[in-house]
């Protein structure tokens, strides 16, 4: 069994959905297809939620209309046979009637999550009906019946397998199952999400749960690039990445993969292929336990980082000081990404500021606290990077941009630097130029 995930742009128009159909048909064997919502739809649903919260009826009606039209128009262009189309449109009307009740009913965290996942309900319904209209037998699976992810960081894939297996009854060699990405049932059995971009994670969780042969992630770019193509010119796709390299890059902001995508498949050595729905003939990127080459490979950046400095004379010679500091973060369930220390101070970074006030309150007794928001961690990755003869060039950047923290030597595969977010793009370009290209590129620093 293979797991194939198609992202928002891949299901974003009737033409791209036709591409998805051809890709699926060209791949042998049984497969589970995980779909995202059409591109832009989850953002629209977030807006709908915000407007319910604000009690803004006029905007709510407008947004509901626009969501509906987008999907009605898709069905109109995708399914030419008028009889089949009218049945599919009736089904769609039914889904929208339920959605109408949901958004005009009582608003709670629970209903907000149900609203958020509606895009995936729509895309999978339409895609399944489209395949059937082309005489391709497919089976729609309801992710709410098996995606039991109580612990977001460490899903119990055996439990998911146990709930999923009863639905995988079609023994045909080419069985096609379709299911919703992004959806999860939390530890209180409530509908929730795997966080934004979470359909990638759905695919690898399912892959690990069913011991899939491979996971394919189909998107709108030809694989994992060596830098963020949204900010840097002349990036190129990497044909191979190790699990560790890809995990670091995804965790530290490479938007092509949800931060947790890699972890479920590492232990089972299930390879992930990143492919472009619009140019399926290209190789893309294979992520696996194989190490194809050593040295500098890629750069990514994670925004929304807060740096906290604790300055204390009591740290001098005091064993147990760091333990007490870490216990505070642990107590407030806040993960630390980077740490640097000096004799009298420790600086660390977090990305989740939900409990920041409580953390600061508890830290106060340990010394003078400084907080700096709006920073970005830039992560430079490659197996054995630290031993690469070119790595020294990295430090030349310290002359050019104000680096707030640097983490070197934590592993052989990674160097992280913390910069103010307003300098992120400059830093990405400067590093790209120094590390990957011989030609100078136009860069501009904002202070």
Interface residues with ligand ASP (CB under 6 A) are: 7-8, 36-37, 42, 119, 181-182, 196-199
For the CA atoms of 257, 437, 222, 278, what is the dihedral angle to 10 degrees? 130
Binding site partner of 181, from ligand ADP, ligand ASP, Mg ion, none, Cβ cut-off 5-8 A by kind? ligand ASP
Q: Please choose, out of 55-63, 109-117, 216-224, 343-351, the segment that lies near ligand ADP by the rule CB under 6 A.
A: 216-224
Whole-number minimum distance, CB 260 to ligand ADP, in Å? 14
Contact pick of 71, 184, 225, 275 for ligand ADP (by CB under 6 A): 225
Nearer to ligand ADP, 99 or 252 (CB): 252
Q: Is 116 exposed, middle or buried (0-12, 13-18, 19+ CB in 10 A)?
A: buried
- Joined together, the tokens standing for residue 344 give 């009298």
Q: Does 255 bind ligand ADP (CB under 6 A)?
A: yes
287-to-138, 203, 247, 335 alpha-carbon distances in Å = 28, 14, 10, 26
Pick 197 or 223: Cβ nearer Mg ion: 197
Q: How far is CA 22 from the centre of its chain?
A: 25
220 binding ligand ADP? (CB under 6 A): yes
Smallest distance, Å, CB 124 to ligand ASP? 11
Nearer CB in complex with ligand ASP: 30/179: 179
Among residues 192 and 433, whose Cβ is nearest to ligand ASP?
A: 192
| 280 near ligand ADP (CB under 6 A) | no
Smallest gap from Cβ 293 to Mg ion, in A, equals 26
Residue 46: helix, strand or coil by DSSP?
Answer: helix
Name the one range near ligand ADP by CB under 6 A: 6-14, 112-120, 310-318, 434-442.
6-14
CA distance 59 to 48: 8
Q: Which does 228 bind (CB under 5 to 8 A by kind): ligand ADP, Mg ion, ligand ASP, none?
A: ligand ADP
Question: Is 10 in contact with 20 (CB distance < 8 Å)?
Answer: yes
Should residue 248 be labelled a site residue for ligand ADP when binding is judged by CB under 6 A? no
Say how far apart CA 271 and CA 259 lie, in whole Å.
Answer: 17
- Reading the block at residue 273, the tokens are 């292929």
Least separation, in Å, of the C-beta of 387 and ligand ADP? 23
Residue 6 vs 321, nearer CB to Mg ion: 6
Tell me the closest approach of the beta carbon of residue 303 to ligand ADP, in angstroms: 12
Would you say 143 or 430 has its CB closer to ligand ASP? 143
Q: Which residue has the tokens 């995804």?
A: 250
Asked if 215 interacts with ligand ADP (CB under 6 A), we say no
Question: CA 327 to CA 324: how far, in whole Å?
Answer: 5
Judged by CB under 6 A, how many residues of this single chain contact ligand ADP? 18
For residue 302, the partner it binds in Mg ion, ligand ASP, ligand ADP, none, with Cβ less than 5 to 8 A by kind, is: none
Angle at 351 between CA 345 and CA 357, to 5 degrees: 70
**To the nearest whole angstrom, how small is the minimum distance from the Cβ of residue 296 to ligand ASP?**
29
264 counts as binding ligand ADP under rule CB under 6 A: no
Q: 328: number of CA atoms within 13 Å, CB side?
A: 21
Short-list 294, 393, 408, CA closest to 340: 408
207 binds ligand ADP, rule: CB under 6 A: no
Is residue 36 at the binding interface for ligand ADP, with CB under 6 A as the rule? yes
Residue 38: which residues within 8 A CB-CB, separation 6 or more? 8, 11, 12, 70, 71, 74, 119, 122, 123
For residue 299, what are the β-bridge partners?
380
Q: Which residues pair with 305 in a beta bridge?
A: 375
Choose between 64 and 120: whose C-beta lies nearer to ligand ADP. 120
119 touches, from ligand ASP, ligand ADP, Mg ion, none (C-beta below 5 to 8 Å by class): ligand ASP
Helices 57-78 and 82-104: crossing angle, nearest 10°? 160
Cβ at position 37, least distance to ligand ADP in Å: 9
Residue 182 interaction partner, one of ligand ASP, ligand ADP, Mg ion, none, beta carbon < 5-8 Å per kind: ligand ASP
- For residue 229, the partner it binds in ligand ADP, Mg ion, ligand ASP, none, with Cβ less than 5 to 8 A by kind, is ligand ADP
8 Å CB contact between 204 and 265: yes
Residue placing its CB nearer to ligand ADP in the complex, 300 or 407: 300
Provide the sign of the torsion angle of the four alpha carbons 217, 178, 8, 83, taken in this order.
Answer: positive
225 binds, among Mg ion, ligand ADP, ligand ASP, none (CB under 5 to 8 A by kind): ligand ADP
**For residue 322, what are the contacts with CB-CB under 8 A and spacing of at least 6?**
341, 346
Cα Rg of the chain (Å, integer): 24
Cβ 418 vs Cβ 305: under 8 Å: yes
Q: Which residues in this chain contact ligand ADP in the complex, by CB under 6 A?
A: 7-10, 36, 197, 219-221, 224-225, 228-230, 254-256, 300
């Amino acid at each position: 069994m293979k797991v194939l995930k198609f992202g928002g742009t891949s299901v974003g128009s009737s033409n791209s959905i036709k591409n998805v159909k051809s890709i699926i048909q060209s791949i042998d064997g049984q497969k589970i297809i995980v779909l995202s919502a059409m591109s832009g739809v989850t953002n629209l649903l977030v807006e709908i939620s915000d407007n319910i919260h604000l009690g803004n009826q006029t905007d709510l009606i407008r947004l509901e209309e626009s969501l509906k039209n987008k999907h009605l128009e898709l069905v109109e262009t995708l399914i030419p046979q008028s009889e089949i189309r009218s049945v599919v449109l009736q089904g769609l009307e039914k889904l929208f009637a339920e959605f109408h009740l949901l958004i005009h009913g009582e608003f709670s965290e629970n209903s907000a999550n149900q609203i958020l996942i509606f895009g995936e309900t729509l895309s999978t319904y339409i895609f399944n009906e489209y395949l059937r209209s082309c005489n391709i037998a497919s089976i729609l699976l309801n992710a709410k019946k098996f995606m039991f992810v109580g612990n977001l960081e460490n899903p119990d894939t055996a439990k998911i397998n146990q709930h999923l297996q009863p639905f995988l009854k079609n023994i045909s060699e080419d069985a096609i199952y379709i299911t919703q990405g992004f959806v999860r049932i939390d530890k209180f059995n409530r509908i929730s999400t795997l966080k934004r971009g979470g359909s990638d994670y759905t695919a690898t969780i399912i892959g690990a749960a069913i011991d899939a042969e491979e996971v394919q992630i189909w998107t709108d770019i030809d694989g994992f690039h060596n830098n963020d193509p949204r900010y840097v010119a002349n990036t190129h796709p990497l044909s191979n990445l190790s699990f560790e390299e890809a995990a670091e890059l995804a965790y530290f902001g490479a938007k092509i993969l949800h931060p947790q995508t890699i972890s479920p498949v590492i232990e089972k050595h299930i390879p992930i292929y990143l492919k472009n729905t619009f140019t399926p003939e290209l190789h893309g990127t294979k992520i696996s336990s194989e190490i194809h080459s050593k040295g500098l490979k890629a750069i990514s950046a994670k925004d929304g980082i807060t740096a906290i400095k604790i300055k204390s004379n009591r740290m001098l010679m005091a064993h147990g000081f760091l333990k007490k500091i870490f216990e505070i973060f642990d107590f407030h369930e806040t993960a630390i990404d980077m740490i640097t220390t000096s004799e009298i101070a420790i600086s660390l970074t977090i990305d989740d500021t939900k409990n920041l006030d409580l953390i600061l309150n508890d830290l106060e007794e340990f010394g003078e606290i400084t907080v700096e928001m709006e920073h970005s961690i830039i992560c430079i990755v490659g197996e054995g990077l630290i031993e690469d003869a070119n790595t020294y060039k990295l430090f030349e950047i310290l002359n050019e941009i104000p680096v707030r923290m640097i983490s070197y030597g934590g592993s052989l595969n990674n160097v992280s630097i913390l910069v103010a977010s307003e300098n992120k793009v400059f830093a990405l370009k400067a590093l790209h130029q120094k590390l990957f290209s011989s030609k100078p590129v136009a860069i501009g620093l904002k202070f």
